[in-house]
């Protein structure tokens, strides 16, 4: 019983690790850098910073762009071919970047 | 000619300053803190960090929420009564927060 519980936990953990591969997301994110910056700090005044954003939020937004629920000329085209795994990876990469804020 | 150009520039600058009042935005932003954090660092996994986001992006998104072009149950209700000036001020406040990123 204990062993099977352990195996279930291990399988779930491996599944999560597979589903969210920040290193793979980093490679994929090269295409995002033009607007969102190499480290997720945006270069364009109408593009948000992605660094440190919660993964759940990023996954949700990319899926909304993919489905058309959130519309944006460029992001619609970019998100269209992304798989769920690629979205998870991209989100994991950007979420892994630590940000700190300085209040004026 | 020089004087009139200077006056035009001054008027534009004052106009911009009036249109974007970060201090007023800070006060207004108290209502946003529940989800987006007191200093724009989100407390909720499905709410984005707003600290340091480009003002132009924030203005655009708040107007999209207000018009319904971008849909979100909570943000739709919150953005509905905002005036253009309040949106400009909120954007100015969040954009004034400096963020820095640490790459893993």
This complex has an ipTM of: 0.81
Q: Is residue A102 part of a domain?
A: no
Name residue, tokens 């295409």: A31
Q: Answer whether B103 sits within 8 Å of A42, measured CB to CB.
A: no
User: Do the Cβ atoms of B54 and A42 come within 8 Å?
Assistant: yes
Percentage with pLDDT > 70 across chain B: 82
With respect to residue B6, please indicate whether it lies within any of the assigned structural domains: no
> Rounded distance, CA A20 to CA A6, Å?
21
Residue A104 lies in a domain: no
Per-residue pLDDT tens digits for B57-81: 999 999 999 999 999 999 999 999 9
Give the C-alpha separation, A31 to B89, whole Å. Answer: 32
Residue A98 DSSP SS3: strand
Query: Is residue B25 assigned to a domain?
Result: yes
Domain holding B39, by residue range, is 20-96
pTM: 0.82
Compute the distance between CA of residue A40 and CA of residue A52 in angstroms, rounded to an integer: 8
Residue B11 lies inside a defined structural domain of this protein: no
Q: Is B88 exposed, middle or buried (0-12, 13-18, 19+ CB in 10 A)?
A: buried
| Residues within 8 A of A (CB atoms), B 20-39 only | 22, 39
User: Residue-wise pLDDT tens for chain B (104 aa)?
Assistant: 455 544 444 444 444 445 579 999 999 999 999 999 999 999 899 999 999 999 999 999 999 999 999 999 999 999 999 999 999 999 999 999 999 999 88
Query: What is the distance between the alpha carbons of residues A15 and B58, in angstroms, rounded to a whole number?
Result: 36
The verdict on residue A35 lying in a domain is yes
Tell me whether residue B30 is in a domain: yes
> What DSSP line would sit under A57-79, residue for residue?
HHHHHHHHHHHTSS--HHHHHHH
Q: Which residue of A has its CA nearest to B101?
A: A99
Domain harbouring B51, CATH code:
1.10.760.10
Chain segment A53-80, per-residue pLDDT in tens: 999 999 999 999 999 999 999 999 999 9
Quick one: how far is CA B7 from the chain centroid? 28
Among all residues of chain B, which has the CA nearest to that of A40?
A: B101
Query: Which residue of chain A comes nearest to B40, CA vs CA?
Result: A101
Could you tell me if residue A24 is inside a domain?
A: yes
Q: Given B48, B98, B100, which is nearest A57 (Cβ)?
A: B48
Alpha-helical regions (H) of chain A:
2-19, 22-28, 33-36, 55-67, 73-79, 84-96
**A54-B103-A35-B68 Cα dihedral, nearest 10 degrees:** 10
**How far from the centroid of its chain's Cα atoms is residue B18's Cα?**
14
Domains contained in chain A, number: 1
């Amino acid at each position: 019983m204990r062993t099977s519980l352990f195996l279930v936990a291990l399988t779930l953990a491996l599944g999560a690790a597979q589903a969210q591969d920040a290193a793979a997301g980093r490679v994929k994110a090269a295409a995002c850098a033009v607007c969102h910056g190499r480290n997720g700090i945006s270069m364009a005044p109408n593009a948000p910073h992605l660094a440190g954003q919660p993964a759940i939020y990023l996954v949700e937004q990319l899926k909304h762009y993919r489905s058309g629920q959130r519309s944006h000329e460029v992001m619609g085209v970019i998100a269209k071919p992304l798989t769920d795994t690629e979205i998870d990876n991209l989100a994991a990469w950007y979420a892994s970047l630590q940000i700190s804020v300085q209040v004026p």
